[in-house]
Amino acid sequence: MSYIKIYVHFIWSTKNRQAFLTDDIRQIVFKHIRENAKSKNIFIDFINGYTDHVHCLISLNDDLSIGKIAQLIKGESSFWINKNKLTTAKFEWQDEYMAIGVGEDKIQIIRNYLATQEEHHKKQTFQQEYNKFIERYGFEIVTNL
């Protein structure tokens, strides 16, 4: 048996940052994402977000890559949202996502941060938050010339 304890903070947004994840459907979507992930042997420790994005704290396992986890969660959930007509317009996730490793000593800090997303986004937009993550973690933004 392999023993793996690697946590990743995933962040992704709705296509064009559209505010599809309204108060009335957000928790339904998050519950579905959690249940679907569990059926695919993906352990979501914590999930939350706001109207235009999602944060997931995920514990990696020994057979799925970060890219495959993102594909499985985002692809299936957008299909499910559209199939169940939870939004009036076609729902899509943005293609890009962030995945940031989380040390054991930071797990509770991330959980607390995710738990307060609604309050957090009364003060700061997702774009502002996104830009801070880009800067904090030294991601290089590539633009097509």
**Mean pLDDT of all residues in 41-65:** 95
Tell whether 75 is covered by a domain. Answer: yes
Residue 7, CA atoms < 13 Å, CB-side half-sphere? 17
pLDDT tier, 142 (very low <50, low <70, confident <90, very high otherwise): low
What is the extent of the structural domain holding 129?
7-136
Q: pLDDT tens, 28-37?
A: 999 999 999 9
Tell whether 27 is covered by a domain. Answer: yes
Q: pLDDT tens, 59-76?
A: 998 899 999 999 999 999
pLDDT tier, 90 (very low <50, low <70, confident <90, very high otherwise): very high
pLDDT at res. 55: 97
pLDDT tier, 145 (very low <50, low <70, confident <90, very high otherwise): very low
Total number of domains in the chain: 1
Q: What is the CATH number of the domain that holds 67?
A: 3.30.70.1290
The alpha helices in the chain, defined as continuous H runs, are 23-39, 66-83, 107-115, 117-120, 126-136
Tell whether 145 is covered by a domain. Answer: no
CA max distance for the chain: 48
